């Protein structure tokens, strides 16, 4: 790991094509160097002047490219060292997906569809791969949904159960995808989980899924998850179609 005084040994960049947006080209070249390891994590980004000279662009172009990389989580601003190469964190990937989803008109039918694709598979893989600690976490999360519970707390608990299953797969990409849906699911589930009867059926479904994962039965876990998601969509449709808040077809 480079010391605090280390500046990354910059690869030699070429002048960028003028017909494309210059800051995007600069950001793209820097991104490739970071992901490829030419610019090491923890090292200081080459100076603005050096980047201007190598790319043959103006300072505003470099500044815009740097802002883009900060927004993507590839650079961090250090109070004494300036811009430092940062490791891409799963949270930043999930956040980007979350912002994209929330920035569009909510079509819960599409959300339900992608949940089936992701979460039936996560349940099956968790049943195959989960270790003892992960199984214990899934079982605990399955029991956490209570009859007497505020809707917001119930939504948090429900989401935590599905995340525990994603973690139990051992595949961080499942976790990133589940996390990216968190805010949308929280908002969408509030009306249904405000109903004690629905919380009761959801808890029973969670326990059935968790039991299948515990006994290492992928098919049963996947089937139970699919049935749970189908029922949740039906309940959402019944409660929200008349309100016109979301599309649930």
How do residues 38-53 score in pLDDT, each as one tens digit? 999 899 999 999 999 9
Q: What's the burial of 125, exposed, middle or buried (CB within 10 Å: 0-12/13-18/19+)?
A: buried
- The structural domains of the chain, ordered by start, are 22-88 (1.10.10.10), 92-240 (1.20.120.530)
Residue 36 DSSP symbol: H
Q: Which of 66, 68, 64 is nearest to 82 (CA)?
A: 66
Residue 44 DSSP symbol: B
Instruction: Assess contact for 82 and 45: CB atoms under 8 A.
Output: yes
Instruction: Assess contact for 10 and 83: CB atoms under 8 A.
Output: no
Tens digit of pLDDT for each residue in 88-116? 776 666 666 666 666 667 777 888 899 99
Strands (E), 5-151: 75-78, 82-85
The predicted model scores a pTM of 0.70
What's the CA gap between 244 and 247, in Å, rounded? 7
Q: Which residues of the chain carry a pLDDT beneath 50? A: 1-3, 19, 246, 248
């Amino acid at each position: 790991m480079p010391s605090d005084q280390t500046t990354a040994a910059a690869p030699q960049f070429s002048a960028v094509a003028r017909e494309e947006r210059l800051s995007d080209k600069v950001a793209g070249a820097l991104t490739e160097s970071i992901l490829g390891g030419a610019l090491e994590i923890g090292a200081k980004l080459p100076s603005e002047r050096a980047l201007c000279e190598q790319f043959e662009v103006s300072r505003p172009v470099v500044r815009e490219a740097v802002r883009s990389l900060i927004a993507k989580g590839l650079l961090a601003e250090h109070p004494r060292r300036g811009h430092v190469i940062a490791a891409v964190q799963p949270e930043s990937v999930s956040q980007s997906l979350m912002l994209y989803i929330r920035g569009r008109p909510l079509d819960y039918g599409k959300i339900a569809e992608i949940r089936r694709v992701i979460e039936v598979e996560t349940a099956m893989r968790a049943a195959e791969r989960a270790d003892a600690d992960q199984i214990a976490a899934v079982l605990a999360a399955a029991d956490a949904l209570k009859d007497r519970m505020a809707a917001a707390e119930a939504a948090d608990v429900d989401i935590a159960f599905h995340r525990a299953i994603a973690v139990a797969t051992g595949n961080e990409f499942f976790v990133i995808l589940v996390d990216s849906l968190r805010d949308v699911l929280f908002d969408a589930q509030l009306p249904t989980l405000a109903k004690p009867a629905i919380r009761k059926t959801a808890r029973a479904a969670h326990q059935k899924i968790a039991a299948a994962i515990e006994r290492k039965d992928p098919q049963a876990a996947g089937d139970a998850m699919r049935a749970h998601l189908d029922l949740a969509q039906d309940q959402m449709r019944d409660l929200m179609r008349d309100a016109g808040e979301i599309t649930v077809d």
